Structures are given as structure tokens and as C-alpha cells.
């Protein structure tokens, strides 16, 4: 029988107290992942501690950098004009996540905390080198998002710690970004995804950041590709090399959704097309 | 063709408003007083001896009312070969085998009780392919048949074959040949409303079943046999069909869960509801039959087909349901789509430990057409002929009898081919490469019922009340396809009453006349013809009675008018003289004499007429029945011969595709479908059926496959079993209906529920070949397969 | 553990006492008799359970009932006009042939309502985006899109 207590703390302190009292409890925000896991009896928490009603987790502040509360819904991110203007790649990914109904409940904190390699918001945040703020009763720390993901389903959160905020610095004027996602049908968990950031000075690449999803144990920065591109004139040959390198540096698996070969192939194609797309925009 | 009042017009479907308001009641919403909830324990072994089932802990759980197994219930055999059992004893043969079941006061407790049941198994080697099952030393999945006679192999004793002409001659005469092996996967019907039922006994031990079924009367027969098995011989089942959340063939057989609900209801003395959750539906309900087809065809120099050889191998799974009879339908296109003189068709079904399969829309035709229509293009290429021209050259025409004995009356194949080629800009687009291509495929299907049982009939009762309301009792099943819409308009049209005066009663074996079931696209064809027959009888009775009643009532009309307006001068007309049965007509519920002046006082409203007939000495109420049995034959399956349907439908679909050779994705640029429908009964409903079928065709072509690994279905949810969403239907669809006005069809209409998905997949495959020169033989056509095939070619 | 919550359901103030683990769909269907909302999958994939919470379309099968405390919930039952008349949106679905078996219909209509309330003149792309979480096996979606467009036209005309 599926039974659990359900708490709705109004502050972080209250949330921490509840977690201390119910060590077996799980934090939940939108519930779009956890409720499915409970239904399928993959997890059997004695209680759920909802983070939806804690004001400091639910706001978006843009003041130089952007501070997005972990309990902000994907829908709110997808429909935020200022976020779209300054961080279009995050908004693009938010728009590709699930359906309207899912986006109205799912949160960015939830999407990240699951530490699924498929998390749609992860690759955009990786290429923007976002930071995540983690709080526990004892302390607060801010770490680069790349350090947050430790393995499939495994974050670096220690007991009682909650992801509370995502912090992103605004990109430079010349920065262009793109998010590409492949599903079996349009609304799907990513079979493979790629996010690309380029800062170009005419045809020279000043800065390159690339990340790939669903092709490694964690959402993955493609550092070797970045190093190869930076400071170079981007030619067709270089793009082909970037593609090859990207394909070499991911470690996809075969599962019910796709084969390893196919995922690798998509990463290569998307890296190539992503770069070409951004070059085209830079030229305009 | 006269102008109809309702037929051919768009009418609001009678069940639409309730469905839009959330007021329609599906099996999910139904409750009976004192109802318990049933849950089933399924096997977690694929092939094993059952050593022991311990239900003691489950029985003790508070709230549990009964726990049943094959050990504490009488044996109930199910399936047309009687090779299946409601609850499994001795042995499990597939992952979905039903081992035990619980009835409890709520579903949660039932679920918990299921977990407390302990089963000990002795595993046996699992067999997961027909080839393995046919090997010399293969373990027998069924050691004996239903009569207890020992079996010697795993081959299912069901065979459909046809041999006509002389294959060797045909091969000799062929200048060009093409052959290949094609396969189709397990696919789930994926009704939005899952399977379920409520079983309830009354205190006389008669059973009522609220069932998600498409065969209420055959189900009654099946359930009555079960009643006999549990010691209630002579007792009766009444099957009531609630609003269905879809069917698509999943309700064409009776299922173990239904018999289990009956056993639980009998044991507890309470109504018991069993409802499948979505993952249970995927894991434990029989899916569409998979197939493997070996085909070879040849043609002469000019491109005329000289022979066709088809062998079908099917993985029957552990038990037998309608999947095993797909080849009976496959035989139709195999022998009769296009003209071909020398034919070999054979089929083999083999037991394995995989899931067993049931009907799904198309019932073997999509499977066979997948092979046939791909192969037609291959042969056309070998012969150097354009595939459109090739099909035209070999097309069937009207009024021919095919090698299987199918009597083609009207045939719009050539027309549908031409329309498709035109709308696709075939000549301009074909063979251009650059990752863009066009392809087409055609179909032949039954359009006038399908006699695959002793009767293919459909009855209708029309009952008139005192107000001119017409109550219809019909045994067909409305599952969304619009049967009740067609029936309503056919009755209103044929009888001559207003649409809103016609009420369709729930489908109920206790009240409705017999109908074999809503399948084979027969619903509208049967209901329409039954309506025409019944209405004719009813009108005859009304007009006969009118000879006496009409003049008296008209006189009353006149008196009333004259009372109010003494100066009224009625037009000259001898009502008494003209009141002969052959002179009457009725329109919009108004009785009138055909040649009479069109004056209001000369019309008699049906309700008034009926009250006059009723409220007098020796009064009458009017109820009429008709039993429509179509002019078709039960084929001789030994010979593979017989005119199975009263009429046939042809059609062609074409697509233009664009292939992304980087990702392997296929984009549909445009889709064209030209279908012979006989007559459009309701344009909106007809379009809806075709759009829905095309969507299923798209799913079949690109996305749908139940992944079975060692007999266990791996993708038991919509997350990993992908059906097309609104995004995947994102291309223009040009639908054209060809009205051939069939003489057997009601108002000229043919049955068309299934054809929409028959040629879709091969049309797409043929277009992909035109675009990039690769042909995928195994559905679904995934991007992975495209990329792999492209790699091989380069 | 039982918990009391107050919320507004189809314009009516409600106060109920429920088990904490209850999903919104269970509260609606089992406790409040609102069986118009359907459970098609229980996992947020099919959208048959779509209802509006504070004007937003959500999967009620994934929403803990306690989360609607203080919120405004609208289900398919709430769309009916006074005098038992269908709303313009529902009528558009009926008239456009957008209904076949009807199981997905309440969820579709609620998604349509959320869309049109926020975006009275959606483009076809916007319509498709709004419905990708509503599965239908019967209609092929074409007439559903037509229904939404018709409703948008009629609602514009009547405002």
C-alpha cells in the first residue's frame, strides 16, 4: 500500500527540522519524477517534504547575474521574457522539457537533483558555467554545476542538504547559444542532446563551451572539444574534427531508448550542426 | 442517387455532448453496490512448473474477501482452441500467466494481498522464437491438447492456405522476380481507456458482466460455458457494454481477467471489479500479432504478374487467441490484391513462451500488405517499370471474381492509384533523389462484413412509444468509431423521423438482438442495412394502420380548425379515398398522403398517430425487428476459397518524405489517401476514422514496438512505448473519398474502419527507398535502422 | 494521517478531510464524485487526467492533493454553463468531430481551456505544443486542432 505523510513547510528551517525528524523522508518539489517512482514502487518514502511553499526557493531575480530559486517551475522559466533575452539556451531547453502539464509542476531544482544524464536543463547550465547554491542546517555552499553531478541518480548533496538556487552570470554580447535535443518522438526524454555556446570574433572562436546529455553517466562538458576550438579559426575541417572528438569523448550506453552507436552518432551530428548554426548567426 | 435528409450530411454525434461534459461512464467510473476490487497475481517466471502456491498470508489480511487459485476453483478453459485457462495450474507458459487473484474491499488492500502470495516454481527452458520452438528437441509448451491427447510438437493446429493455378508454370513464365523476408513487431492497441470489467451474480446465480468488449454475444456464449464449468450449467450471462475507452480489436476475445472476475464474484457473492492499470495493460493484455512473411513474386516482360508465393510464420505465444487467425484475413490481399494467376499462400503458427496475441485493427492485412506492397516496388524496379504504372497494369477491376472467390463488385483501385499519383505530383517528384522521395501502396479489405463465424448477422429492434420517439436496440458496439451516429442517421433517414427522436439504447445481450461483434469494419454496414430493413417493416405497419387511423385524425384536425375559424375553406381532397397504404409517406415524423396538397391539416404527427393506435380498444404498440444477414460465405479454409464479404474496399495511400541522413529521421512532407468508401454516410465521422487510422499507421511505421526480452515486455508505459502525439501528425493530409455506390451497402456505403492503416507503412517504406535507396524490411522504421542501412550501402 | 484543506472547486468553496498520500485525481474521482477526469496512465504521460490549478494545466495523477490547498481548481465538470449547456469550447469539440471514444476528451478540453485562456489566438504550432502531453488513439488529432481553432474564433466573436 502506498502511504506517506506529506508536509508543506513554509521555510527552509522548517524543512530541515522535518527532515531531521523523518530521516526516511524525501524532499519533493513538482513531484513529476518522485510521484512516478512511488507509483512504480521504486521508492517507498515514509514522508514527502514539499518545497513548493517556501518563498525563497520560488523566485527569479535578475540583477547582473540571474538567481533562480530551485523550486521555480520549468513553465515559469520557459515563459520568462528576461531570462529568454539573456539566457535563451536555458529557456529553449525548458520549452523542450516534457509537456505543458509537466512543465507547470516540474522545477529546475528537481530536474537537476535527479542527476539524470538526460536532464534537459543541465547542459545549458553547464555551458553557461552556472553555479548551484546548496544549503544544509549547518552551512551554505556554492559550487560549479559540473561538480553537482556525481553519477546517474547521484548528486553531491550530503544528508539534509537542499539545492536552493541556481546562479548564472550573464554571457557577453557576442555569445551565441543553441540547444539541440533528439527524442524518439518530439516529447521524450532525450536520447541525446547537445548544448553549444560560442563567442566569436569574426571567424575566430574566442570561447567555446559544449555539453552533451544522455551520453555519459552525467551531463557532460565536452572539454576536449572546447580546448580544440578556442583561439582557432573555425573551418569546415575543424568542425569535422570537433565532431569526431565529441563522438570519441562520450560514453553512451544501449538501453530501451536507443543504441550506443546511435547516441554517439547524434552527438556528432548535433555538435557539427550546432556550431554551424551559431556561425551562421554570428555572420548575420 | 437521391438527396438524403441525413445520410451524407454532418450530424452531431449523439454521444458527443455527454463525452464533452465528462458525463459518459466508462468501466472505470462504474460502481455496483457492495462491490469488491479484484487484483491478479501474474507469474514472474516465463516457463516453469508451479510447485506450490501459498495463499495463507494473503487470506489473513484484513479486508481480503477471497483468494483464488487453480487449486481452489473449478477449471475454466478459455480461447477458441481451449488451450488457455483462467487460472494456471501445474505450469506457467508466459510471464503474464495468471496464478492467483484476490478480491478485497479496496484496490490497495487487494494489491498488498497479491504481494503476500508466495509461489514456488521449477524453471523450465524458455523458448522465445518460432525457430527455437520448431527445433527437434524443443521442450513442448503444451504437452497435450484440450482433449488431453498428447501433442508432438509446438505447432498450433490452425492453418490457412491457398494454392491456385500452378506455381511452377508461373515461375517459368516470369522474366523478372523479386523476393524478400519482411517482419512486423508486437504492437499494443493502446486504448486510452484500459481494460476492465465488473462481474455480478444475482440470487438466482445468473451473471451480469459489464465488459469492455466488442463481442457481447460471443462473450455471453463464452461466459455461459464458464458458468457450466463452475457448476452453473443452464444459468445465463447478460453482457452489458458501457461506454468504451477505445477498442481497436482488444475486445474481440474474452480474457482471463474476465473469467477471474466471475470466479471472484461467485466465491464472494459480491460484484467484483477488475481494472487494468496502464502498465498492466501493456504487460498483461494480448497485443497485436507479430509476423514474418517470406514473399516472392514474378512478372513477365510487360510487367504482368505471373506468380505470387507467400509463406507466413507467426510466433503464436503461449496460448491461442485471434492472432492465430490473422492469416485468414491475410489471404485476401495475398490472393486478390492485384491480378495474379498462380498463387501459393501458406501460414504456420508456432507456440513459444512469448506473449500470446489478439486482434488489432486490420487483423493481418497491415502485416501482409507490409510485405506485399514493398515487394511490388521491388519487382517493379527489377522489371524497370515505374511502381505506379506497375500497379495500374496489374490492377483489379469491377465485377471480377478473384482466385480466392472474392466477388469484387465495385472497384476503385485504378481511380485511387491515379488520384494518389496526381496529388503527389508523382512524375515530377519520383526518382529525384536528394533525400526526398515519393512512394505509394494500395490495399484490399473487406467492406461488407466478414463471415468468419457461422453467422455474420446483425439484428435491430425498433420500438415506438406514445410520442413518436424511436428506441433502437442494436447489438453492435460503439467504441468511438461512430456506430451509434450512423445507426441514428440510418434509422431517421429510413423511417422518416427527426434525428432527435431516435435513441440508441445501451448494448446489452439482455435486450438487443444478436450481433456477431463489431469488427472487420462491419459496424456501419450491418447497422445501416438492419436499419433499412427494420424501418421498411415498420413503415409498412404504420401505413397499413394509417388506412383506418389517418382519415379519422384528419377529420379531427379539420373540425378543430373550423371551430376556431368557421370561414376556413379547406382545399378539395378525398382523404378517405386516398388513404391506401401504398399512398402514404412519412418525413420528419409527419405522416402524409403522397399526392395530397401540402396543407398543415393534412399532416399527421407520428406521436398523435401512435397514441390513436394505442389508446383504443384492441390497441397496439409498434415494435419491429429485423435481422440482417449479408450475402457472404464462410470460406472453405481447406481450399482457401469463399466470398467472405458482401463487398470489398480498395484504396491507395501515398507519401512524400524527406530523410535526414545525419540523424536518420524521416519527415513526412505530405500524405495522400484515396479510399473507396461506397458512400460517405457522415463526412466528419469518416474523416475522423481515417485520420485516426493514419495516425496508427504512422505509429506502426515509425515508433511502435513492444520490446520483448526472454518473454518479458520491457516497455510497459507510454514513456517507452511511443504512440504518435499531436506533434507527429504534423503534415498535410489530403484525404479523398471515392463513392462507388455499392449495391449491397446501406445507402451504397462500405465498411471502412480498418483500411486507413493498412497501406501506410509500405507507402512510407517505398517513399524512403525513392529518397535514399534503402529498404527497411522490419518494422518499425527507426532512425537507427536508416543509418545502419545507409552505412551498408555506402 | 488525515489533513483538512480548503480550496475552490469549479467556483465552489470546499473543505475536505483527506489522507495525506492522496493524489488530486483520487480526491476528485473517489472522494468528490468528479469522474469526468480520467486516469489513463498514472504517470503524467497521457494527459487524460488534466485539470486546471490556478489556471494552469497539470496532470492530476502526479499532483499531491494537499498541494491544492488555497488554490482554484477547475475540472471538466466546471465548464458546463448554467441550465446544463455546454460551453463554447465543449461545443466546438462536439461540432468539429474531435470526439470519438471520448476518454481523452476531458483532458483535451481542459488543456484547450488553459491555452485559450492565456492565448486567445494561438498559432497552429502553439496549439501543437500545448497538446503534446495529451495522447489520443482514436482521432489522429486533426479535428482536435480544428476544434480549438473554432473555439478560438467563437470565443473571440462572443467577447
ipTM of predicted assembly, 2 dp: 0.98
Inform me whether the pLDDT recorded for B101 exceeds 50. Answer: yes
Task: With a cut of 70, say whether residue B641 has pLDDT above it.
Answer: yes
Q: What is the mean pLDDT of residues B635-655?
A: 96
**Residue C136 forms part of a structural domain:** yes
Whole-number percent of chain B with pLDDT over 90: 98
Q: Are both C34 and C55 inside the same structural domain?
A: yes
Q: Are residues C68 and C104 in the same domain?
A: no
B714–A187: do the CB atoms touch at under 8 Å? no
Q: Give me the mean pLDDT over the C22-33 stretch.
A: 97
Preferred mutation among C137, C141, C148 to probe B, highest tally of B CBs within 10 A: C137
Report pLDDT digits (tens) over A189-212.
999 999 999 999 988 999 999 999
Structural domain includes residue C46: yes
| B204, B375 contact by CB (below 8 A) | no
Please tell me whether residues C104 and C138 are part of one structural domain.
yes
The answer to whether residue B794 scores a pLDDT higher than 90 is: no
Do C106 and C46 lie in a common domain?
no
Confidence class for position B3, pLDDT limits 50, 70, 90: confident
Q: Does C106 touch chain A (CB under 8 A)?
A: no
Does residue C105 lie within any of the structural domains?
Answer: yes
C63 with C99, same domain? Answer: no
* B142 vs C126: CA distance, rounded Å: 55
Residue B789 pLDDT > 90, yes or no? Answer: yes
Share of chain A above pLDDT 90, in %: 95
**Predicted local confidence at residue C157, as pLDDT:** 85
In chain C, which residues have their Cβ closer than 8 Å to the Cβ of A99? 44, 47, 132-134
Furthest C-alpha separation in chain A: 63
On whether residue C59 sits in a domain, the answer given is yes
Which residue bears the cell 516453469?
A: B48
Domain boundary among C77, C107, C136: C77
Q: What is the pLDDT of residue A203?
A: 86
- In C, which residues are within 8 Å of B715 by CB distance? none
At residue A1 the predicted structure's pLDDT band, cuts being 50, 70 and 90, is confident
> What is the share, in percent, of chain B residues with pLDDT greater than 70?
100
Residue B600 CB coordination number (10 Å): 8
**pLDDT-based confidence at residue A283 (cuts at 50, 70, 90):** low
What are residue A248's phi and psi, to 5 degrees? -75, -30
Which of C48, C77, C106 marks a domain boundary? C77
Partner chains of A (3+ C-beta pairs under 8 Å): B, C
Query: Is the preceding omega at residue B780 within 30 degrees of 0, hence cis?
Result: yes
pLDDT-based confidence at C34, cuts 50/70/90?
very high
pLDDT at C81 (0 to 100): 73
How many Cβ atoms from other residues are within 10 Å of residue B112's Cβ? 19
Residue showing cell 569574426: A202
User: What 3-state class would DSSP assign to A232?
Assistant: coil
Question: Is residue B74 exposed (0-12), middle (13-18) or buried (19+ Cβ within 10 Å)?
Answer: middle
Is A6's CB within 8 Å of C21's CB?
A: yes
pLDDT band (50, 70, 90) for residue C84:
confident
> CA A86, CA A128: separation in Å to the nearest integer?
11
Residue of A1, A184, A257 lying closest to B112 (CB–CB): A1
Q: CA Rg, chain A, in Å?
A: 19
Q: Give the helix ranges, DSSP H, for B269-412.
A: 278-284, 326-336, 365-383, 387-393
Mean pLDDT of B35-43: 98
Residue C82, in any domain of the structure: no
Find the CATH number of the domain harbouring C21: 3.10.20.30
Question: What's residue A284's pLDDT?
Answer: 52
Give the distance from residue C114's alpha carbon to the nearest chain A alpha carbon, in angstroms: 10
Q: How far is B218 from chain C (nearest CA, A)?
A: 22
For C2, nearest residue in chain A (alpha carbons): A5
Together in a domain, C54 and C14: yes
Using CB atoms, which residue from A40, A187, A269 is nearest to B663? A269
Can you give the pLDDT at residue B1? Answer: 45
| pLDDT confidence of residue B10 | 87
Q: Do A99 and C47 touch (CB under 8 A)?
A: yes
Q: Decide if C99 is inside a domain.
A: yes
Same domain, C143 and C95: yes
Last residue in a domain, options C51, C77, C103: C77
Q: Please, what is the average pLDDT of chain B?
A: 97
* Closest chain B residue by Cα to residue A254: B784
Chain B residues within 8 A of A261 when measuring between CB atoms: 784
Quick check: is C146 in a domain?
A: yes
Cα→Cα distances A225→A145, A149, A275, B695, C2, Å: 19, 20, 11, 41, 56
Confidence check: pLDDT of B242 > 60? yes
d(CA B340, CA B296): 12
Our count of domains for chain C comes to 2
Mark C106-126 as b/e (b = at least 16 C-beta within 10 Å).
Answer: bbbbbbbbbbbeeeeebeeee
Is the distance from CB of B231 to CB of B318 less than 8 angstroms? Answer: no
Q: What's the rounded Cα separation, in Å, for the pair B676 and B49? A: 52
Q: How many residues comprise chain C?
A: 159
Q: Is the dihedral of CA C30, C34, C39, C40 positive or negative?
A: positive
pLDDT digits (tens, 9 = 90+) for B181-197: 999 999 999 999 999 99
Would the CB atoms of A184 and B703 count as touching at under 8 Å? yes
Q: What is the pLDDT of residue B367?
A: 98
Q: Closest by alpha carbon to B315, among B362, B360, B364, B353?
A: B353
Give dist(CA B532, CA B511) in Å, integer: 20
Domain that holds residue C69: 2-77
Distance separating alpha carbons of residues B326 and B356, to the nearest angstrom: 13
Is the CB of C131 less than 8 angstroms away from the CB of B726? Answer: yes
Average pLDDT of the segment spanning A161-167: 97
CB contact under 8 A, C130 and A3: no
CA-based nearest residue to C100, from B264, B233, B690, B457: B690
Residues C7 and C60 in one domain: yes
Give the number of other Cβ atoms within 10 Å of residue B453's Cβ. Answer: 12
CA pair distance B704, B689, nearest whole angstrom: 20
Cβ-based interface (< 8 Å): residues of A facing B: 1-2, 40, 182, 184-189, 256-259, 261-262, 265-266, 269, 272-273
Residue C83 domain-assigned? Answer: no
8 Å CB contact of C99 and B20:
yes
C103 and C126 part of one domain: yes
Q: Tell me the average pLDDT of chain A.
A: 96
Whether residue B150 has pLDDT greater than 70: yes
* Spatial CA neighbour of B762 closest among B448, B368, B469: B368
Q: Which residue has the cell 409517406?
A: B585
Report whether B410 contacts B678 (CB < 8 A): yes
- Asked if C24 and C70 sit in the same domain, the reply is yes
pLDDT digits (tens, 9 = 90+) for B649-686: 999 999 999 999 999 999 999 999 999 999 999 999 99
Nearest chain B residue (CA) to C104? B192
C100: domain CATH number?
Answer: 1.10.150.120
- Chain position carrying cell 535535443: A181
C8 and C59 fall within a common domain: yes
Residues C20 and C68 in one domain: yes
Amino acid at each position: 500500500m502506498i502511504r506517506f505523510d506529506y508536509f508543506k513547510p513554509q521555510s527552509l528551517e522548517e524543512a530541515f527540522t522535518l527532515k531531521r525528524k523523518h530521516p526516511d523522508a524525501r524532499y519533493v518539489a513538482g513531484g513529476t519524477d518522485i510521484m512516478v517512482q512511488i507509483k512504480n514502487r521504486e521508492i517507498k518514502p515514509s514522508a514527502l517534504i514539499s518545497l513548493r511553499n517556501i518563498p525563497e526557493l520560488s523566485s527569479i531575480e535578475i540583477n547582473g547575474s540571474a538567481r533562480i530559486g530551485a523550486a521555480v517551475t520549468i513553465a515559469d522559466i520557459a515563459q520568462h521574457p528576461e531570462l529568454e533575452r539573456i539566457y535563451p539556451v536555458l529557456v529553449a531547453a525548458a520549452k523542450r522539457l516534457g509537456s505543458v502539464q509537466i512543465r507547470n509542476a516540474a522545477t529546475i531544482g528537481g530536474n537537476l537533483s535527479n542527476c539524470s544524464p538526460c536532464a534537459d536543463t543541465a547542459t545549458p547550465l553547464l555551458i553557461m558555467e552556472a553555479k548551484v547554491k546548496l544549503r544544509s542546517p549547518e552551512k551554505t555552499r556554492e559550487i560549479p554545476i559540473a561538480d553537482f553531478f556525481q553519477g546517474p541518480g547521484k548528486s553531491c548533496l550530503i544528508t539534509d542538504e537542499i539545492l536552493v538556487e541556481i546562479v548564472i552570470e550573464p554571457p557577453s554580447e557576442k555569445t551565441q547559444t543553441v540547444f539541440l535535443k533528439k527524442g524518439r518522438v518530439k516529447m521524450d526524454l532525450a536520447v541525446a542532446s547537445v548544448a553549444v555556446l560560442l563567442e566569436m570574433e569574426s571567424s575566430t572562436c574566442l570561447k567555446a563551451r559544449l555539453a552533451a546529455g544522455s551520453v555519459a553517466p552525467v551531463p557532460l562538458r565536452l572539454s576536449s572539444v572546447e580546448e580544440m576550438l578556442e583561439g582557432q579559426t573555425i573551418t569546415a575541417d575543424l568542425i569535422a574534427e570537433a565532431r569526431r572528438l565529441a563522438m570519441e569523448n562520450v560514453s553512451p550506453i544501449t538501453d530501451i531508448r536507443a543504441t550506443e552507436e546511435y547516441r554517439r552518432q547524434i552527438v556528432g551530428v548535433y555538435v557539427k550542426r550546432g556550431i554551424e548554426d551559431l556561425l551562421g548567426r554570428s555572420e548575420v | 442517387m437521391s438527396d438524403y435528409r441525413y445520410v451524407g450530411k454532418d450530424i452531431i454525434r449523439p454521444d458527443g455532448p455527454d463525452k464533452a461534459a465528462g458525463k459518459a461512464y466508462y468501466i472505470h467510473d462504474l460502481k455496483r453496490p457492495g462491490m469488491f476490487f479484484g487484483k491478479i497475481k501474474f507469474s514472474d517466471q516465463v516457463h516453469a512448473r508451479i510447485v506450490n502456491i501459498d495463499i495463507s498470508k494473503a487470506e489473513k489480511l484484513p479486508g481480503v474477501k477471497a483468494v483464488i487459485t487453480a487449486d481452489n476453483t473449478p477449471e475454466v478453459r478459455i480461447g477458441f482452441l481451449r488451450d488457455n485457462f483462467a487460472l494456471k495450474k501445474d505450469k506457467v507458459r508466459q510471464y503474464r500467466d495468471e496464478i492467483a487473484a484476490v478480491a478485497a474491499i479496496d484496490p490497495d488492500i487487494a494489491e498488498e494481498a497479491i504481494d503476500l502470495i508466495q509461489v514456488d516454481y521449477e524453471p523450465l527452458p524458455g523458448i522465445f522464437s518460432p525457430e527455437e520452438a520448431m527445433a527437434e528437441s524443443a521442450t513442448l509448451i503444451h504437452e497435450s491438447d484440450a482433449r488431453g491427447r498428447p501433442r508432438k510438437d509446438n505447432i498450433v493446429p490452425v492453418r490457412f492456405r491457398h494454392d491456385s493455378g500452378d506455381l511452377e508454370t508461373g515461375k517459368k513464365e516470369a522474366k523478372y522476380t523479386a523476393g524478400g523476408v519482411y517482419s512486423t513487431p508486437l504492437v499494443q492497441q493502446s486504448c486510452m481507456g484500459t481494460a476492465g470489467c465488473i462481474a455480478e451474480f444475482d440470487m438466482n446465480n445468473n451473471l451480469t458482466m459489464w465488459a469492455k468488449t466488442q463481442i457481447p454475444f460471443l462473450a455471453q456464449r463464452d461466459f455461459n460455458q464458464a458458468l457450466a464449468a463452475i457448476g452453473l450449467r443452464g444459468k445465463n450471462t447478460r453482457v452489458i457494454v458501457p461506454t468504451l475507452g477505445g477498442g481497436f480489436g482488444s475486445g474481440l476475445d474474452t480474457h482471463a481477467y474476465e473469467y477471474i472476475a466471475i470466479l471472484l464474484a461467485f466465491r464472494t457473492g459480491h460484484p467484483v471489479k477488475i481494472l487494468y492499470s496502464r502498465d498492466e495493460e501493456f504487460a498483461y493484455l494480448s497485443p497485436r500479432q507479430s509476423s514474418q512473411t517470406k514473399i516472392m513474386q514474378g512478372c513477365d516482360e510487360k510487367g504482368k504478374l505471373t506468380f505470387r508465393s507467400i509463406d507466413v510464420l507467426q510466433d503464436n505465444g503461449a496460448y491461442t487467441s485471434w492472432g492465430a487467425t490473422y492469416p485468414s484475413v491475410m489471404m485476401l490481399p495475398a490472393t486478390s490484391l492485384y491480378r495474379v494467376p498462380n498463387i501459393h499462400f501458406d501460414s504456420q503458427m508456432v507456440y513459444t513462451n512469448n506473449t500470446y496475441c489478439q486482434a488489432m485493427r486490420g487483423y493481418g492485412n497491415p502485416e501482409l500488405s507490409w510485405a506485399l506492397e514493398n515487394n511490388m516496388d521491388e519487382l517493379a524496379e527489377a522489371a524497370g517499370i515505374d511502381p505506379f504504372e506497375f500497379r495500374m497494369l496489374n490492377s483489379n477491376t469491377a465485377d471480377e471474381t478473384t482466385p480466392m472467390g472474392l466477388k469484387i463488385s465495385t472497384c476503385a483501385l485504378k481511380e485511387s492509384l491515379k488520384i494518389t499519383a496526381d496529388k503527389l505530383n508523382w512524375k515530377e517528384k519520383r526518382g529525384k533523389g536528394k533525400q526526398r522521395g515519393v512512394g505509394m501502396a494500395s490495399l484490399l479489405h473487406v467492406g461488407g462484413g466478414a463471415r468468419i463465424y457461422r453467422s455474420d448477422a446483425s439484428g435491430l429492434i425498433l420500438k415506438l412509444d406514445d410520442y413518436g420517439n424511436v428506441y433502437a436496440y442494436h447489438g453492435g458496439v460503439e467504441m468511438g468509431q461512430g456506430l451509434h451516429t450512423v445507426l441514428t442517421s440510418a434509422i431517421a433517414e429510413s423511417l422518416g423521423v427527426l434525428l432527435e427522436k431516435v435513441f440508441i439504447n445501451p448494448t446489452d445481450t439482455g435486450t438487443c438482438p444478436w450481433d456477431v461483434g463489431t469488427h472487420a469494419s462491419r459496424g456501419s454496414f450491418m447497422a445501416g442495412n438492419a436499419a433499412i430493413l427494420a424501418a421498411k417493416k415498420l413503415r409498412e405497419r404504420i401505413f397499413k394502420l394509417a388506412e383506418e387511423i389517418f382519415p379519422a385524425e384528419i377529420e379531427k384536425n379539420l373540425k378543430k380548425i373550423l371551430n376556431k375559424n368557421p370561414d376556413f375553406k379547406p382545399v378539395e381532397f378525398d382523404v378517405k379515398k386516398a388513404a391506401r397504404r401504398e399512398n402514404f409517406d412519412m418525413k420528419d415524423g409527419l405522416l402524409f398522403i403522397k399526392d395530397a396538397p401540402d396543407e398543415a391539416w393534412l399532416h399527421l404527427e407520428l406521436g398523435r398517430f401512435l397514441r390513436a393506435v394505442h389508446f383504443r380498444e384492441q390497441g397496439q404498440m409498434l415494435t419491429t425487428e429485423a435481422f440482417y444477414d449479408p450475402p457472404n460465405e464462410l470460406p472453405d479454409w481447406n481450399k482457401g476459397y469463399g466470398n467472405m464479404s458482401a463487398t470489398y474496399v480498395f484504396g491507395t495511400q501515398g507519401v512524400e518524405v524527406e530523410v535526414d541522413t545525419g540523424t536518420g529521421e524521416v519527415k513526412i512532407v505530405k500524405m495522400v489517401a484515396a479510399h473507396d468508401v461506397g458512400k460517405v454516410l457522415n463526412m466528419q465521422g469518416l474523416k475522423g476514422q481515417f485520420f485516426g487510422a493514419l495516425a496508427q499507421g504512422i505509429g506502426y511505421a515509425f515508433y511502435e514496438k513492444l520490446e520483448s526480452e526472454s518473454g518479458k515486455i520491457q516497455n510497459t508505459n507510454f514513456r517507452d512505448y511511443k504512440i504518435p502525439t499531436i506533434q507527429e501528425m504534423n503534415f498535410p493530409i489530403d484525404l479523398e473519398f471515392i463513392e462507388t455506390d455499392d449495391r449491397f451497402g446501406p445507402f451504397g456505403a462500405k465498411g471502412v474502419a480498418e483500411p486507413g492503416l493498412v497501406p501506410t507503412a509500405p507507402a512510407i517504406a517505398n517513399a524512403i527507398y525513392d529518397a535514399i535507396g534503402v529498404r527497411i524490411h522490419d518494422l518499425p522504421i527507426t532512425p537507427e535502422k536508416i543509418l545502419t542501412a545507409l552505412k551498408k550501402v555506402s | 494521517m488525515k489533513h483538512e484543506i480548503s480550496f475552490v472547486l469549479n467556483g465552489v468553496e470546499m473543505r475536505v478531510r483527506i489522507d495525506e498520500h492522496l493524489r488530486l485525481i483520487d480526491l476528485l474521482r473517489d472522494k468528490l464524485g468528479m469522474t469526468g477526469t480520467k486516469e489513463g496512465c498514472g504517470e503524467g504521460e497521457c494527459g487524460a487526467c488534466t485539470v486546471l490549478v490556478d489556471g494552469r494545466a497539470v496532470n492530476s495523477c502526479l499532483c499531491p492533493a494537499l498541494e491544492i490547498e488555497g488554490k482554484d481548481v477547475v475540472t471538466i465538470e466546471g465548464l458546463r454553463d448554467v441550465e446544463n449547456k455546454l460551453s463554447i469550447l465543449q461545443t466546438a469539440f462536439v461540432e468539429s468531430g474531435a470526439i470519438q471514444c471520448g476518454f481523452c476528451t476531458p483532458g483535451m478540453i481542459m488543456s484547450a481551456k488553459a491555452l485559450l485562456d492565456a492565448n486567445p489566438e494561438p498559432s497552429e504550432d502553439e496549439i501543437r505544443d500545448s497538446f503534446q502531453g495529451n495522447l489520443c488513439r482514436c482521432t489522429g488529432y486533426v479535428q482536435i486542432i480544428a476544434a480549438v481553432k473554432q473555439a478560438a474564433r467563437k470565443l473571440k466573436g462572443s467577447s
